Structure 1
């Protein structure tokens, strides 16, 4: 016989053995079983249904016949089956008399229902287990409620901690675990007060708990990591069957909020200090019952005005200023209260001038308050008045000066000219303002471009002599100074030009230059006449000898040729000095220029018992110059040195290169010049000679300046005079001219520089 057959036979025998017992009080048992309010069932030891009542059928949806053909394990949820079987084993082993558990059944419709199962064992009179009797209640609704309640606790963003009546922790939700860093298992059955930071008596949560009162409080807990967290908490009693069995503490983490409040308090204090200590003044006001009442007033300006916050806050204007001032200011107050932004006004109290800026504060597009910021502008007002005075003076100066002034923008359009400009150049204001500057000759365009480049690169252009055109086309010699006009950021926005008409001065200088040349020529003529007469006398004598002695006097020819060459040299140099020529700059050897001038002046030096010596390098020193002008300078200086030594003496000429400059030094041991007269040397008609004009030295200064050089004169009475000339090296001087030429090429076509 197989095992299933044995089990079926045993089940049948069990039913037969139970039948006599079931017939005892059969009617009473059947009524109690069939009509019980809860599900009832007899189940054999293998789990098959033996008898079920109507309530059970109603709970799980199956008919009696359907249930009796199956077992209760097939209806049990798989997750609950193992625990259910374990309980049955312990029941059958005698460990338990009965057991109760919550489990899930599958309803006939397929849905899962929760039941409360109570199982007891039925034994024979001999104590042998016969079957089990089960009581089954549908608790699905309760379990759904419990799940909702559990979800509410588990997923609540607020931290929730459940405590028993002694204050021990018996549960934490995930939010509370996150807040304090502990897992629920680490704190179960420990006192909640053990994690309170600081004084334990700060927790008042249990003082009135038995009365069911919910309290709100702030508590500090110690996080698992050791730092403090602050909670805003309240307690909720746990009530079961009308009796309080514990408490829920529902809390939220307010640590950051508390820090924010503390930071805000610090900021508010800082703001109050800033407002109090600011140089200006801040005040606020509201309109209450038609009156403007001040709600704030602070700042150092308040006290400088002779007021205090107490005199202003809570009061209207007429209570601390005169009625006429209050009436004027309230007009501005009204404008700001009506919603106008940036209302400005100036006020003055106790001789202090201030400017106030009013701005409305709005909520929901409604003005609720007006805030004002004030700054002391007393010094600024004084500065503005001084600036206005200065401006008027400058305008008067510009208007009445004899120098022409023009202002142009960066597009070279004329913005402004003064009366002197109209007078000098002949253009009326309406003829030139707003139009390109038109006073530069065609041949000066390149030069003007170079000047503009120099100015924009940061160099100065001062007293530059050039030529400009009158309205009628007449050229005017002018001295020009141009300067940039810059804005507050330092950017050049315009150019100002100041020009002075020096046409008459240039004519005078040219006249003086010619006069000086004539003077030099006249003085040279005496020496040259004697110097030429000597070789002529020699030539005449040699010719007479040749005529008397006949031909073949070859040794006389060489002497005669040398004398004729000397006459030719002297006459040529004399013509160079005497004849006006076009000034041209070329490369010349300073060594050669000096030797030529010395040869020209040697006869005069010899006549005056003056010896001339030259010290310079064998290598030629090249300079970029005008030959005629440079020779004129050397002649003037050497003649002055010769004439200063009436009793004879020595003139030393030295030439050398130092620090990228060529230096020429002329030193004599003559009578010297008094110290007080040195400053006036170079002025026209100022001279230390008895018959001099002073023009020679003046022309020397002019020529050397035109060659970008300088002259310095040092002298001691009875010891002599030293004249130092410094000139640029030829490469440097030429390079400067080439650079200016390149800059002129870079000038923007179509622009007309100043």
Structure 2
């Protein structure tokens, strides 16, 4: 399913920042071209600055608000200096107003960022709840279809081409069933164990290479996390990496390389899967983890949302980094089982984490 919208809260575009910047320029021009004796107008222009700063902070967050407040302070300060001797009492207030620009931008921007984060979390929870309900409705239907397909395959009257088509249907249904299973609330109760991720991935090297070979793509693996351990579900974590590798294979031109690298610091295991594909447009970066959103013609839009669900269940984080024409990289971070790397010899205890990884 290929959707052209996202359930994430609307984000302000660059257009609003541009409009506010133009408004600030216009107010600045009025400030410097209005005669000094018209104090009422200058007070109005100062208040308009304040309105621009608040608007930028509210819609753009702390970063945009502070940028706007800083720019306005820079262009407003010369006006205060030029009129300091003529009206020192008034200009002390104007100087304090500059500090208020920055303080207001910081306070309103931080509150705005927190509210956006809260709304994003609510939308994410809503998506998961919706998928949970969809899972209950679809899982039994998919299971019935798989059962029916197997029964048809047992019949001798089915031709060989028909059997091949049915097997492909079964493969697609099995993948969809497996994807939906991760959104079942009972999936949280799956068994977990202490796992060495690098060792797991090394054992799967040949399978990853076969997946990429089918697309004419090379595999580069640089596993540098050593003996780091995570506490998790083996099947889920392998499914996660396999899905990221398959996604990379799907978008990689023949002859390019998909790299899989890992490292560990004192608290987390880090995995990166990078391709040399066309990249993801900026407007889609925040949508790739949204359930049922896909840029593929035949994609279900569930793969990456399942990846985020698995990482979230393991109390980790997954982010995407991409630029059109420069490929895409998915970064996965998982907490170490004991908050630090384990399994090294006693004599290694004094070595720095970077040396052990």
- TM-score computed with the length of structure 2 as normaliser: 0.44
Q: For the pair shown, which has the larger CA radius of gyration, 1 or 2?
A: 1
- Whose strand fraction is larger, Structure 1's or Structure 2's? 1
What TM-score comes out, normalization by structure 1 length? 0.22
Compare relative contact order (CA 8 Å, sep 6+) and give the higher one, 1 or 2.
2
